[in-house]
Structure 1
Amino acid sequence: MTFTPLHRALGLSPSVLTDEILDAAVAAGVSETDDLDWKSELPPIKNISQTDVPKDIAAMANSGGGMIVYGVKESQKTATGRVDAGEFTEGHERAYRSAAVTAISPPVFGLGVHRLGIDQRAVAVVVPASVDGPHLIYKNDLFGAPIRNDADTGWMRERQVEAMYRARFDERRRASDALDSLYEEASAGRDVKERAWLVAVAHPRVPAVLGRPDRDAARSSLKRAELITLSYSNRNGIHPLENIDVHNPRPGLRRWIAVNTATGERERWKEAWAEVHHDGSVTLAAAVGGHRMSADGYFDGWQVEGRGIECCVADFAALIRAVAEGNTLDQYEVQVGIEWAGDEPLQILTVDGVGYVYDGVSTPLRQFTRVHSSINAASSDENFHREVFQLAEDAVNQGGVSNLHVMSTPPVEDV
């Protein structure tokens, strides 16, 4: 589901962008605005960074996001008809996205590309709202910050650039405060004097604005996360998503809560809770200390299996990915910590070469340092896998553990 300037101009509810919507916008003579730009031809794939593409993308990002549509004729900024924009190949798209990353500083990620039409082909590029402005483009030794001025593209003046930098820093402070607030809320009330808890929270850089998701949407995200997590992790550990009610999330304050299902006396050791907030935020809290080690034996509350941490991070990241897909979100700020308030130091356990739990390399922790990171939930599967793997590594490395055993090794990044 998406909501574009075309939806707004036609008075439509959020929906999939289709060729019929574009036809209706052209027939209605929709005019260009600060977030809509008509273009008749696709830019050339060769030297695309030297064309107006970086300027157009940066201007939209600096103006709160918008849409560039290739394959529409216009007169006096008003759509007058369709024209075949030509084939937009995978190579063309890669070059286009590359220009948004390499020719703009800071880069603009998360472009939404929609191929429309068959006989009269069009390409609609949705530029997301950004909190990293001003986005600059460079020409040799000169740089500037483009911005949309109604239907035209101009250049920011010094005071505008100053104001945008101030807004960027203010947003970062607010995002940090929001993340800390989510963490304190998710960790409140846990029995951390008896057993260690992993708490993971994520907040989108640009919160969702499409309204309150219903129970079906929340259920869909939770069930989708169950599939995503197994695309880069195995079942050799306790996955929190297997111990919460993904089928019947309950309403909370501007959120949906997936409650714990490990309620029996012999199951409470794997207690877990998850939340999907209306703004796209995600939280996960799971007991990771005192897990069962045999049919009738349990680890102590300060003993945490590295595999358990991996499972939690995998499920948490999968939930971010699923929620982001449903809300067209990209950049998330995340925070992962382990809360333990007992007398003994925290201990992260690994496994030896034959799979037995092993504590010989563990480094006792008086305090687990929360891991902070940024995750692009709209990146490719490979890039997302790498980000999740690094997050899990940062968590288990604190306890002296080097190797991951639940997550598969991500593919090597292309140089």
Structure 2
Amino acid sequence: MTALWTRIHAQLSLPPSELTYEMVREAVAQKVCATDDLRWIPSMPSPGSEDGHDFGTAVAALANAEGGIVVVGVTDVDGAAEKIIPVPVDLAPQRELRALAASCVRPLVDGMVIAPLAAGTGEGGVLVVAVPGSVDAPHVVGELSALGAPYFAGADLRWMSEHQLAQAYRNRFRAAADQRDAIAELTARADALIEPAERTWLVVTAVPARNGKAASPPLPRAEVAAVLEAGLKLGHEAYPIRGDRFDVLRLLSSDAIRNPRTGLRCWVVRSNHYAEPLERDDLVHVELHQDGSVLMAVAVDKLVLREEQAAVGRRVPVKAVEAVVMEAVAVASAYSRNRGRTSLLRTRVEFRTAETDVALLAVDSIGYMSNFMQVVPGSRAVRRPVAVEAELDPIGEVDSLRGFAGRLAQDILHQFGVERCALLG
């Protein structure tokens, strides 16, 4: 998949979408200038040459900041795009660029994508190298006394000073902790809006690995419905449609989806859309944040009929756990695609309840089409469920999203002694 949101999109006032040769051609016609997240290279660089060193330096500099693209096959004058000089776009030059980046940049930049954009005339085209902002920064190029960590300040190439290098290493080592802090903050905010005292909530939170400073524009209110519908569609593609499956997003009314509430740098969609000011959310709570984070909380025990509730403990439908995790992963993926974000999402799944020692019981439907549930034979009650985490590639294929959601759901269900997922297994 090519880059979904780039400086070219921004300069041409285009919405997030896959980058095309026509977009590059229009950017050249408008003489778009190189910036700290867009570089032009006139021809295929070669190992050991000056242009090869320049390419490696550009890759390292982009990875050391918030990412960007290198377009190979475009000349420039003082940074302004001048002319397209077609380069080969078959597999061989793509391998050469990967090998060159691997030989020039240390540590290796993970997640770099090379997209061939053919001109359609049989004369080649341009190669777009999408470089993500790296959690492994700082990346260095050169050898011995010429070793350095580059970065771009606008169109200018600069090199990190000693204190900048020290800060970059501190950022690398605390990146995972920062993500977990962000997840904890989002979850704590949600606790104030939902009813943990009366319900058992399954909360799924996804936070970007790195938030780009050249990020796509905030999600307009009118596009919230499109993101949720795209998430529901992805969820349906990822796991089967059957009578005993929960459709969590379908529990949100059309009014709630089309008219989301305003939150702190986010849109909030809730099942009790017309609730009074003092009422908390009663069943489903979804947040889409400007930085690309997503939170979905569902009162899974409320999905069990009242008369089926156990006198002691709370029942957790195992298929509801699978559905919540799958649909939350699908919404996070759909939101990233809509906004053109490609960075990994640290995803956390946990139960939230005000009672610290409440017994949670895994239940499942008795028959294929039945709404009546019973405790899963051989399962055990869970009083201190453990949160589970993993990193999601939001632009992965459907099978990849399904496998990711299945692993998270399975980690939750294993705590109840449930061996495998029924829908995602």
TM-score normalised by the chain length of structure 1: 0.78
Residue in 1 aligned with 2:139? 135
User: Which has the larger displacement, 254-263 or 60-69?
Assistant: 254-263
Alignment counterpart, residue 279 of structure 1, candidates 281, 291, 298: 291
**What residue number does 1:221 align with?**
227
2:260 pairs with one of 241, 250, 266: 250
Q: Which residue of 1 aligns with 2:65?
A: 63
Query: Unaligned 5+ residue runs, structure 1?
Result: 45-49, 264-268, 410-415
**Relative to structure 1, is the Cα distance of residues 366 and 27 closer, same or farther in structure 2, using a 3 angstrom cutoff?**
closer
1:377 aligns with 2:391: no
| 1:161 corresponding residue in structure 2 | 165
Structure 2 counterpart of 1:259: 270
Distance 1:138 1:319, change over 3 A: farther
Instruction: Report the counterpart of residue 332 of structure 2 in structure 1.
Output: 320
**Residues 401-412 of structure 1: matches in 2 within 5 Å?**
401-407=418-424, 409=425
Structure 2 CA distance, aligned partners of 1:332 and 1:60? Answer: 20
Matches within 5 A, 1:7-156: 10=11, 12=13, 14=15, 16=17, 17-42=19-44, 56-74=58-76, 79-89=81-91, 105=107, 107-109=109-111, 111=113, 113=115, 115=117, 117-119=119-121, 121-135=125-139, 145-148=149-152, 156=160
Inter-partner Cα distance in structure 1 for 2:409 and 2:101? 29
Matches within 5 A, 1:345-356: 345-349=359-363
Q: Which amino acid aligns with 1:292?
A: V
The answer to whether the 8 A contact 1:61-1:108 is kept is no
Alpha-carbon distance, 1:366 to partner: 1.7
2:238 counterpart SS class:
coil
Residue matched to 1:266: none
Per-residue deviation at 1:281? 1.6
Alignment match, 2:345: 332
* Counterpart amino acid of residue 333 in structure 1: R
Contact 2:66-2:211 within 8 A present in 1 as well:
no
Q: Which of 305, 317, 328 is the matching residue for 1:305?
A: 317
Contact 1:202 1:281 in 2 (8 A): yes
Which residue of the partner structure matches residue 412 of structure 1?
A: none
Whether 1:231 and 2:241 are equivalent positions in the alignment is no
Q: Which has the larger displacement, 352-361 or 175-184?
A: 352-361
In structure 2, relative to structure 1, the CA distance for the partners of 1:31 and 1:199 (3 Å cut) is: closer
Contact 1:147 1:153 in 2 (8 A): yes
Equivalent pairs: percent with the same residue?
Answer: 25
User: Is the CA contact 1:336–1:370 (under 8 Å) kept in the aligned structure 2?
Assistant: yes
The Cα of 1:157 is off from its aligned counterpart by 5.7
1:288 counterpart (280, 300, 314): 300
The structure-2 alpha-carbon separation of the partners of 1:278 and 1:189, relative to structure 1 and needing over 3 Å to count, comes to closer
Equivalent pair of 2:304/2:315 in contact (CA under 8 Å): no
Residues 1:359 and 1:15: Cα distance change in structure 2 (over 3 Å): closer
State the alpha-carbon separation in 2 of the partners of residues 229 and 94 from structure 1.
Answer: 34
Q: TM-score, normalised by structure 2?
A: 0.77
Alignment of 1:173-212 (within 5 A): 173-207=177-211, 209-212=215-218
Question: 1:413 matched to which residue of 2?
Answer: none
SS in structure 1 opposite 2:82? Answer: strand
Say if 1:349 and 1:401, in contact at 8 Å, map to a contact too: no
2:278 aligned residue? none
User: 1:93 offset after TM fit, Å?
Assistant: 5.6
CA shift for structure 1 position 310:
0.7
- Matched AA of 2:314: W
**Given the superposition, is the C-alpha separation of residues 279 and 63 from structure 1 closer, same or farther in structure 2, using an over 3 Å criterion?**
closer
CA distance in 2, matches of 1:291, 1:29: 57
Q: Distance in 1 between matches of 2:187 and 2:100?
A: 36
Deviation for aligned residue 1:132? 3.7
Structure-2 separation of matches of 1:272 and 1:64: 34
Unaligned runs of 5+ in 2: 47-51, 275-280
Provide, for residues 305-337 of structure 1, a one-character-per-residue CA deviation record: whole Å limited to 9, x for no partner. Answer: 221111110011011011010112221122211
Report if the CA contact (8 A) 1:243-1:270 is conserved: no
The structure-2 alpha-carbon separation of the partners of 1:104 and 1:239, relative to structure 1 and needing over 3 Å to count, comes to farther
Would the alpha carbon gap of residues 244 and 100 (structure 1) be closer, same or farther in structure 2, given more than 3 Å must change?
A: farther
Looking at structure 2, the residues matched to 104 and 154 of structure 1 have their Cα atoms a distance apart, in angstroms, of: 17
**Distance change (3 Å), C-alpha of 1:94 and 1:179:** farther
**Cα deviation digits, residues 28-71 of structure 1 (max 9, x gap):** 54554443322233468xxxxx9986654333111332221122
Residue identity opposite 2:253 in structure 1: D
The answer to whether the 8 A contact 1:245-1:258 is kept is no
Q: Name whichever of 100-109 and 187-196 sits farther off.
A: 100-109
CA RMSD of aligned residues (A): 4.0
Identify the match of residue 403 of structure 2 among 382, 386, 404: 386
Residue 224 of structure 1 deviates from its aligned partner by 0.4
Letter in 2 for 1:219: A
Q: For residue 347 of structure 1, what is the amino acid of its counterpart?
A: L
Counterpart amino acid of residue 390 in structure 1 = R
Q: Give, in whole Å, the separation in 1 of the partners of 2:321 and 2:27.
A: 50
Task: Give the length in aligned residue pairs.
Answer: 394
User: Is the CA contact 1:243–1:261 (under 8 Å) kept in the aligned structure 2?
Assistant: no
What displacement does 1:390 show? 1.4
Moved more, 212-221 or 76-85: 76-85
Determine helix, strand or coil for the equivalent of 2:407.
helix
Amino acid at match of 1:405: A
